Amino acid sequence: MFDNRVNVFVVLMVVAISLTLSACDDDSEPVPLEELSCKVESVVWNATSYLTAEMNNGVVIITGVNNNNDTLRLLIQDHEPGVHPVKNIQNIIVYKTQDITYLPLNSAEASLIVVDHDVVAKYIWGGFFYTGISGTGDRVEISDGVFRVYYN
């Protein structure tokens, strides 16, 4: 699982560097795309139907829904740049499909990586991965997660 965290971090850093370099090419600021995506059990998942973000009581809440009506929600309490733990009480990631809700295990096999948080522009982006568990004990692996959103 450590390799996934390193891979996500490397990908995010490459994107950050390329965005920085592209900003140097002309005088206009690049406008980042908004997205919420990941792999669920190695299958690509994208918030194609709905994506919203807000700051509520110091927590950035990102909610996305795909075309199958599967929902992914991130509740980010630690929104300063860095690598942060994902637990069921801190930096929560919830995945819901077919009326089954998967909450994070309290383990080291989960991380939230905030690459940048611009509080003036109200823009945050980074990555994540975690293992979720349902109330019946079923598990789901979420990997290669990326979020880029403006919030209200």
Tell me: pLDDT of 137 over 50: yes
Q: Which two tokens stand for residue 69?
A: 């009506």
To the question of pTM greater than 0.75 for the whole model, the response is yes
Give the model's confidence band at 29: pLDDT under 50 very low, under 70 low, under 90 confident, else very high. low
Select the highest-mean-pLDDT range: 18-27, 39-48, 81-90. 39-48
Q: Which residues lie below 8 Å from residue 120, measured CB to CB, with a gap of 6+?
A: none
CA 117 – CA 25 distance, rounded (Å): 23
